[in-house]
């Protein structure tokens, strides 16, 4: 299992003290397509949010 989710990773990248980290494209891949999940990705400044839907 990963140690951080995409929002935690984006937050850590954006917090780095390097100018390139402020503009690096970040794509959040998630299995959750709920409005609060999308909102969380926008808050941490992800460039794009991709939800993966699967039929069971």
pLDDT tens figures, 13-56: 999 999 888 888 888 777 767 788 778 888 888 887 777 765 55
The per-residue pLDDT for 55 is 57
- Rounded Cα distance between 4 and 48, Å, is 18
The per-residue pLDDT for 54 is 58
The per-residue pLDDT for 16 is 93
Asked if the model's pLDDT at residue 1 lies above 60, the reply is: no
Asked if the model's pLDDT at residue 6 lies above 80, the reply is: no
Q: Contact, 12 vs 4, CB < 8 A? A: yes
């Amino acid at each position: 299992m990963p140690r951080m989710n995409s929002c935690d990773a984006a937050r850590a990248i954006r917090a780095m003290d390097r100018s390139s980290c402020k503009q690096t494209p970040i794509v959040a891949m998630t299995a959750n397509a709920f409005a609060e999940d999308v909102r969380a990705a926008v808050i941490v400044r992800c460039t794009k949010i991709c939800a993966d839907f699967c039929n069971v």
